[in-house]
Amino acid sequence: MDKVVDFIHVNRERYVEELKALLAIPSVSALPAHKPDVARCAEWCATEMRRIGLDQVRLVETPGNPVVRGDWLGAPEAPTILFYGHYDVQPVDPLNLWESPPFEATIRDGEIYARGAADDKGQVFMHFKAIEAHLKQHGRLPVNMKIVLEGEEEVGSEHLDDFVRAHKDDLRADVVVISDSAMFARGVPSICYGLRGLVYCQIDLRGSAGDMHSGSFGGAVANPAFVLAQMIAQMKDRGGRIKIPGFYDDVRELQPEERQAWASLPFNERAYKKEFGIPKLFGESDYTTLERTWARPTLEVNGLLSGFTGEGAKTVLPAVAMAKISMRLVPDQDPDKIAALFQAYVEKLAPKTVELTFTRMHGGKPWMTSYDNPFVQAAGRAIEKGFGRAPVFTREGGSIPVVSTFNQELGLPAVLFGVGLPDENAHAPNEKLDLGNFHNGVVASAYLYDEIGRLPRN
Ligand code: BES
Ligand code: ZN
């Protein structure tokens, strides 16, 4: 490993220049105008994967964006890692809040700023560099490696489940490795052993054929904005408990050991409020902030639209109102069941004065593993070598739906080793990645392959 680690230290500056080129490609999967950029980004990754020495590098077409595949299978006696990451990114709006252009990576105070820096291009690239270091120094990896890079993660991975099911043999492995999450805090590396699931829906209400004069018609016609607000107000009580009948039926209660372990994590509520500009925290009573975000479900309004929102005043009775609403789920809630419960509740809440259209969008199952599995323990040792400190074990509030697909379809355990930070603005303006964590992450990833290579095949 010394030769590998030396190589990584010597090449530190070059990595940053190469990463800038990857971050310059606006591979925004949510916006059709960026389709060619998404394709270009897939090509960029494939070219880089060939360059670092992976074999059989290819783009696999799907009905959506291509999956980038590549392998290194030269260690038949060792376990096989299925590495998953995504090369698509979130939209950049509001653009005016960016301090430097989102697709011109800029370094300030040891952090690289760009859309995708943390989520997930920087973390995928970290593994590319760890693979490169092994292959350049030894001509081989200590494990077999199968790489799967997706281009639709940020829009719900619509085609990935089918891809996994259609390529079960090709994807046979011993463990999934993913770096698409955050460390617990600066200086506190972590391994994530649980993710929340997701159900995403849109509600459209129509109160009339077109917008109307609010003087001539107001008082005689229901205002869909008002109706929508009243419906949303029925979704949660003032204490943050969700009022959809049956919603909590399958929620697995937190275990006392888990609560105890989390209570000893270095979490400072005051600093958290200050950092994110929150006047007062909110959530279910009887649960701490970490418990609320990691182990309890939630329902959030992601967007609202109705009526006149421009400058000045316009007296209008809007014809339509729209809300995008999502729910984060925890074990053992099932997305299909929750979506059905929610739809029934919304239909019950909607008065006859409006026409309701309910649309279910994407979703995914929650995931949780036990952290005494040997792969997770191996990752712990690798992280300690890369970061000089043993990781803490965390769950996350975010979702990576494919983790549970890999588990169910391929029977694979997963190691989630993220090097982002909670304040790195994923999905927001001024996304960034700490270059020190990136560098330590390359070292830790290189050790991770070494540690997993010493384990027996699954
Ligand atoms: N990298 C995130 C997932 C994540 C976020 C993990 C925070 C750990 C902590 C991923 O790219 C993401 O944003 N996923 C979406 C999934 C959705 C579009 C199905 C999410 O969580 O909203
Ligand atoms: Zn991500």
13 three-state secondary structure? helix
| 368 CA to centre of ligand 1 in angstroms | 15
Which atom of ligand 1 has the smallest separation from the CA of 196? 21
Query: Which of 445, 426, 422 is closest to 121 using CA atoms?
Result: 426
Distance CA 36, CA 19 (A): 20
Cα–Cα distance for residue pair 288/298, rounded to 1 Å: 14
* Region for 156 from its dihedrals, namely left if φ exceeds 0, alpha if ψ lies in -120 to 50, beta otherwise: left
Residue 86 CA, ligand 2 centroid: distance in Å: 7
- Catalytic residue of the set 48, 119, 153, 431: 153
Q: Which ligand number lies closest to the CA of residue 404?
A: 1
Nearest-CA residue for atom 5 of ligand 1: 398
Under 8 Å CB-to-CB from 219, ≥6 apart: which residues?
A: none
- Phi and psi at 357, nearest 5°, equal -120, 120
Which one of 37, 88, 132, 152 is the catalytic residue? 88
Q: Which atom of ligand 1 is nearest to the CA of 86?
A: 11
Q: Could you identify the atom of ligand 1 that is nearest to the CA of residue 364?
A: 19
pLDDT digits (tens, 9 = 90+) for 207-224: 999 999 999 999 999 999
Q: Which of 178, 180, 365 most suits a substitution to test ligand 1, by most atoms within 8 Å of the C-beta?
A: 180
Ligand 1 nearest atom to the CA of residue 180, by list position: 1
Distance 185 CA to ligand 2 centre (A): 18
Task: Evaluate whether 64 touches 75 at the Cβ level (below 8 Å).
Answer: no
- Top mutation candidate among 27, 89, 153 for ligand 1, by most atoms within 8 Å of CB: 153
Q: Whose CA is nearest to atom 17 of ligand 1?
A: 156
SS3 category, 131: helix
CA end-to-end distance (rounded Å), the chain: 24
Q: Which amino acid is at 452?
A: I
- Alpha carbon separation from 270 to 267, 277, 394 (Å, rounded): 9, 10, 20
Cα–Cα distances (Å) from 113 to 53, 119, 179, 417, in that order, read 28, 12, 18, 21
What spacing in Å lies between the alpha carbon of 433 and ligand 1's midpoint? 16
> In this predicted structure, what is the pLDDT of residue 438?
98
Q: Whose CA is nearest to atom 13 of ligand 1?
A: 154
* Residues in Cβ contact with 116 at an 8 Å cutoff, skipping those fewer than 6 apart: 22, 23, 27, 89, 122, 431
The reply to whether 174 belongs to the active site is no
CA of 156 to the centre of ligand 1 (A): 9
pLDDT at position 421 is 95
| Ligand at shortest distance from the CA of 121 | 2
* Low-confidence stretches of the chain (pLDDT beneath 50): none
Q: What percent of the residues of the chain are helix, what percent strand, and what percent coil, each to the nearest 5?
A: 35, 25, 40
CA nearest ligand 1 atom 7, residue: 398
Q: Quick one: pLDDT at residue 10?
A: 98
CA quadruple 324, 329, 333, 336: dihedral positive or negative?
positive
Ligand positioned closest to the Cα atom of 181: 1
For the chain, give the mean pLDDT.
97
| Ligand nearest, relative to CA of residue 418 | 1
Please give the pLDDT value at position 384: 98
Ligand 1 pocket list (CB less than 6 A):
119-120, 153-154, 156, 180-182, 198, 362, 364, 396, 398-401
Which helix (H) or strand (E) segment holds residue 204: the answer is strand 197-206
pLDDT of residue 139: 98
> Any catalytic annotation for residue 88?
yes
